Amino acid sequence: MITYTRSIVLAILAAAIVSVPGQAAKHYDMLMSGYYDGPSVSGTFGFADIFEKVPLGAELELGYSWTHTGDPTLSCQVFINQNQNNNHETINTGGVLDLGLNATYPLTQSYGPVKFSLFAGPRMARWAVRHEYVNGNEDFDIVSWVWGMGGGVRGTMPLSEHFNAILQLGLDYYFRSSIYGHDATYYPDNANINARNNGAGYTYTYDDALRATTVPHIRPRVMIGLQF
Protein backbone atom coordinates (compact mmCIF):
# COMPACT_ATOMS: atom_id res chain seq x y z
CA MET A 1 0.00 0.00 0.00
CA ILE A 2 2.72 2.46 0.89
CA THR A 3 4.47 1.79 -2.44
CA TYR A 4 1.24 2.46 -4.32
CA THR A 5 0.59 5.66 -2.36
CA ARG A 6 4.15 6.84 -2.89
CA SER A 7 3.78 6.32 -6.65
CA ILE A 8 0.63 8.46 -6.67
CA VAL A 9 2.28 11.23 -4.68
CA LEU A 10 5.33 11.21 -6.96
CA ALA A 11 3.08 11.43 -10.00
CA ILE A 12 1.26 14.44 -8.52
CA LEU A 13 4.56 16.12 -7.70
CA ALA A 14 5.93 15.51 -11.18
CA ALA A 15 2.73 16.78 -12.79
CA ALA A 16 2.87 19.98 -10.73
CA ILE A 17 6.45 20.61 -11.79
CA VAL A 18 6.09 19.98 -15.50
CA SER A 19 2.90 22.04 -15.63
CA VAL A 20 4.85 25.27 -15.04
CA PRO A 21 6.33 26.31 -18.41
CA GLY A 22 9.58 28.20 -18.58
CA GLN A 23 10.44 27.76 -14.89
CA ALA A 24 13.61 25.87 -13.99
CA ALA A 25 12.81 24.18 -10.68
CA LYS A 26 15.79 23.61 -8.40
CA HIS A 27 16.17 19.99 -7.39
CA TYR A 28 17.67 18.96 -4.04
CA ASP A 29 17.94 15.90 -1.81
CA MET A 30 18.26 15.63 1.97
CA LEU A 31 19.43 12.92 4.35
CA MET A 32 18.65 13.45 8.02
CA SER A 33 18.66 11.69 11.37
CA GLY A 34 17.22 12.64 14.72
CA TYR A 35 14.42 11.87 17.15
CA TYR A 36 10.76 10.95 16.56
CA ASP A 37 9.68 9.09 19.71
CA GLY A 38 12.95 7.23 19.17
CA PRO A 39 15.93 7.29 16.79
CA SER A 40 14.82 8.39 13.33
CA VAL A 41 16.23 8.58 9.78
CA SER A 42 14.72 10.10 6.66
CA GLY A 43 15.38 10.90 3.02
CA THR A 44 13.81 13.79 1.07
CA PHE A 45 13.43 14.42 -2.66
CA GLY A 46 12.43 17.99 -3.39
CA PHE A 47 12.16 20.94 -5.76
CA ALA A 48 12.38 24.65 -4.91
CA ASP A 49 10.99 27.58 -6.92
CA ILE A 50 8.59 25.50 -9.00
CA PHE A 51 6.44 28.56 -9.82
CA GLU A 52 7.52 31.81 -11.44
CA LYS A 53 5.81 34.35 -9.18
CA VAL A 54 5.43 32.45 -5.90
CA PRO A 55 8.52 30.98 -4.14
CA LEU A 56 6.86 27.67 -3.35
CA GLY A 57 8.57 24.30 -3.38
CA ALA A 58 7.41 20.71 -3.07
CA GLU A 59 9.08 17.67 -1.57
CA LEU A 60 8.48 14.04 -0.72
CA GLU A 61 9.93 12.58 2.46
CA LEU A 62 10.23 8.94 3.54
CA GLY A 63 11.39 8.09 7.06
CA TYR A 64 11.69 5.30 9.59
CA SER A 65 11.80 5.62 13.38
CA TRP A 66 12.63 2.99 15.99
CA THR A 67 9.93 4.12 18.39
CA HIS A 68 8.64 2.72 21.66
CA THR A 69 6.84 -0.57 21.07
CA GLY A 70 4.19 -0.33 23.78
CA ASP A 71 3.22 -2.66 26.63
CA PRO A 72 3.73 -6.31 25.53
CA THR A 73 1.82 -7.82 28.47
CA LEU A 74 -1.24 -5.64 27.94
CA SER A 75 -0.95 -6.19 24.18
CA CYS A 76 -1.15 -9.94 24.69
CA GLN A 77 -4.23 -9.55 26.88
CA VAL A 78 -6.01 -7.12 24.55
CA PHE A 79 -5.24 -8.82 21.25
CA ILE A 80 -4.81 -12.54 21.97
CA ASN A 81 -5.63 -14.61 24.99
CA GLN A 82 -7.97 -12.82 27.37
CA ASN A 83 -5.65 -12.15 30.30
CA GLN A 84 -4.09 -15.61 30.31
CA ASN A 85 -0.49 -14.67 29.47
CA ASN A 86 1.43 -12.92 32.25
CA ASN A 87 4.86 -13.62 30.73
CA HIS A 88 6.89 -10.42 31.18
CA GLU A 89 10.01 -11.73 29.39
CA THR A 90 9.58 -10.51 25.82
CA ILE A 91 11.51 -9.46 22.72
CA ASN A 92 9.94 -6.38 21.12
CA THR A 93 10.85 -4.84 17.77
CA GLY A 94 9.36 -2.38 15.33
CA GLY A 95 8.58 1.28 14.83
CA VAL A 96 7.05 3.79 12.43
CA LEU A 97 7.43 4.04 8.65
CA ASP A 98 6.19 7.46 7.53
CA LEU A 99 5.62 9.25 4.23
CA GLY A 100 5.11 12.99 3.93
CA LEU A 101 4.34 15.40 1.10
CA ASN A 102 5.36 18.99 1.86
CA ALA A 103 4.87 22.40 0.37
CA THR A 104 7.81 24.67 1.28
CA TYR A 105 8.06 28.44 1.58
CA PRO A 106 11.27 30.41 2.27
CA LEU A 107 11.26 33.10 4.95
CA THR A 108 12.84 36.47 4.23
CA GLN A 109 14.39 36.70 7.71
CA SER A 110 17.85 35.15 8.04
CA TYR A 111 20.51 35.09 10.76
CA GLY A 112 23.95 35.45 9.23
CA PRO A 113 24.47 32.59 6.80
CA VAL A 114 21.46 30.65 8.13
CA LYS A 115 18.28 30.81 6.05
CA PHE A 116 14.88 29.58 7.21
CA SER A 117 11.87 28.07 5.49
CA LEU A 118 8.49 26.65 6.46
CA PHE A 119 7.15 23.26 5.37
CA ALA A 120 3.75 21.60 5.77
CA GLY A 121 1.59 18.91 4.20
CA PRO A 122 -0.20 15.57 4.56
CA ARG A 123 1.28 12.57 6.34
CA MET A 124 0.80 8.82 6.24
CA ALA A 125 2.41 6.43 8.73
CA ARG A 126 2.47 2.70 9.44
CA TRP A 127 3.05 1.75 13.08
CA ALA A 128 4.08 -1.91 13.24
CA VAL A 129 5.66 -3.85 16.11
CA ARG A 130 6.28 -7.50 16.88
CA HIS A 131 6.11 -9.03 20.35
CA GLU A 132 7.80 -12.38 21.01
CA TYR A 133 7.04 -14.03 24.37
CA VAL A 134 10.02 -16.00 25.59
CA ASN A 135 8.99 -19.56 26.62
CA GLY A 136 5.37 -18.53 25.96
CA ASN A 137 5.08 -20.18 22.55
CA GLU A 138 3.53 -16.99 21.14
CA ASP A 139 4.51 -14.10 18.91
CA PHE A 140 2.42 -11.68 16.88
CA ASP A 141 2.37 -8.31 15.08
CA ILE A 142 0.29 -5.23 15.85
CA VAL A 143 -0.25 -2.81 12.95
CA SER A 144 -1.99 0.54 12.51
CA TRP A 145 -2.14 2.83 9.44
CA VAL A 146 -2.71 6.49 10.30
CA TRP A 147 -3.18 9.67 8.25
CA GLY A 148 -2.53 13.22 9.36
CA MET A 149 -0.93 16.59 8.81
CA GLY A 150 2.43 18.00 9.78
CA GLY A 151 4.70 20.98 9.43
CA GLY A 152 7.56 22.91 10.90
CA VAL A 153 10.53 25.16 10.33
CA ARG A 154 13.89 24.35 8.72
CA GLY A 155 17.21 26.14 9.07
CA THR A 156 19.77 25.83 6.26
CA MET A 157 23.44 26.82 6.48
CA PRO A 158 25.85 26.47 3.52
CA LEU A 159 28.88 24.25 4.06
CA SER A 160 30.22 24.31 0.51
CA GLU A 161 29.04 24.97 -3.02
CA HIS A 162 27.00 21.76 -3.10
CA PHE A 163 26.24 20.94 0.55
CA ASN A 164 24.12 22.62 3.22
CA ALA A 165 23.69 21.72 6.88
CA ILE A 166 20.07 21.24 7.98
CA LEU A 167 18.33 21.64 11.33
CA GLN A 168 14.60 20.85 11.22
CA LEU A 169 11.93 21.13 13.91
CA GLY A 170 8.50 19.69 13.12
CA LEU A 171 5.22 18.58 14.63
CA ASP A 172 2.94 15.89 13.17
CA TYR A 173 -0.71 15.24 14.03
CA TYR A 174 -2.31 11.90 13.10
CA PHE A 175 -6.00 11.07 13.27
CA ARG A 176 -7.00 8.02 15.26
CA SER A 177 -7.38 4.85 13.20
CA SER A 178 -7.95 1.12 13.58
CA ILE A 179 -5.40 -1.05 15.41
CA TYR A 180 -5.02 -4.68 14.32
CA GLY A 181 -3.28 -7.52 16.13
CA HIS A 182 -3.58 -11.30 15.81
CA ASP A 183 -7.27 -11.60 14.73
CA ALA A 184 -8.61 -8.64 16.74
CA THR A 185 -9.23 -5.14 15.37
CA TYR A 186 -10.11 -2.12 17.51
CA TYR A 187 -11.75 1.00 16.06
CA PRO A 188 -12.08 4.55 17.47
CA ASP A 189 -15.90 4.15 17.61
CA ASN A 190 -15.49 0.75 19.35
CA ALA A 191 -17.18 -1.16 16.52
CA ASN A 192 -14.48 -3.72 17.24
CA ILE A 193 -13.92 -7.12 15.67
CA ASN A 194 -13.03 -10.07 17.93
CA ALA A 195 -12.45 -7.83 20.95
CA ARG A 196 -11.03 -9.82 23.85
CA ASN A 197 -12.22 -9.81 27.46
CA ASN A 198 -10.35 -10.15 30.74
CA GLY A 199 -12.09 -13.35 31.80
CA ALA A 200 -14.11 -11.47 34.43
CA GLY A 201 -16.77 -9.92 32.22
CA TYR A 202 -14.88 -6.85 30.96
CA THR A 203 -14.45 -6.48 27.20
CA TYR A 204 -11.40 -4.54 26.09
CA THR A 205 -11.97 -1.27 24.20
CA TYR A 206 -10.13 0.96 21.74
CA ASP A 207 -8.70 2.95 24.66
CA ASP A 208 -7.17 -0.27 26.01
CA ALA A 209 -5.61 -0.95 22.60
CA LEU A 210 -4.16 2.58 22.66
CA ARG A 211 -2.71 1.99 26.14
CA ALA A 212 -1.08 -1.20 24.86
CA THR A 213 0.53 0.55 21.90
CA THR A 214 2.27 3.79 20.91
CA VAL A 215 0.42 4.47 17.65
CA PRO A 216 1.35 8.02 16.47
CA HIS A 217 -1.06 10.81 17.40
CA ILE A 218 0.78 14.07 18.19
CA ARG A 219 4.54 13.85 17.81
CA PRO A 220 7.35 16.42 17.65
CA ARG A 221 10.28 15.64 15.39
CA VAL A 222 13.85 17.00 15.62
CA MET A 223 16.20 16.24 12.71
CA ILE A 224 19.68 17.26 11.54
CA GLY A 225 21.39 16.39 8.30
CA LEU A 226 22.68 17.41 4.90
CA GLN A 227 21.05 18.95 1.84
CA PHE A 228 22.76 18.46 -1.52
pLDDT, tens digit (0-9, with 9 covering 90-100), for 170-213:
999 999 999 999 999 999 999 999 999 998 899 999 999 999 99
Cβ burial, residue 172 (10 Å; 0-12/13-18/19+): buried
Whole-number pLDDT of residue 35? 98
Whole-number pLDDT of residue 87? 63
If one compares 76 and 85, the residue with the highest pLDDT of the two is: 76
Whole-number pLDDT of residue 108? 87
Whole-number pLDDT of residue 135? 76
pLDDT, tens digit (0-9, with 9 covering 90-100), for 168-182:
999 999 999 999 999
pLDDT, tens digit (0-9, with 9 covering 90-100), for 19-28:
444 456 899 9
**Domain extent listing, the chain:** 2-227
Q: Smallest Cα–Cα separation from 186: which of 208, 166, 215?
A: 208
Taking the C-alpha atoms of residue 95 and residue 128, their distance in angstroms, rounded to an integer, is 6
DSSP β-bridge partners for residue 133: 90, 138
- CATH of segment(s) 2-227: 2.40.160.70
CA distances from 35 to 64, 120, 157, 204 (A): 10, 18, 20, 32
CA distances from 85 to 81, 94, 196, 207 (A): 7, 21, 13, 20
Contacts of 21 by beta carbon, 8 Å cutoff, 6+ apart: none
Cα radius of gyration rounded to whole Å, the chain: 21
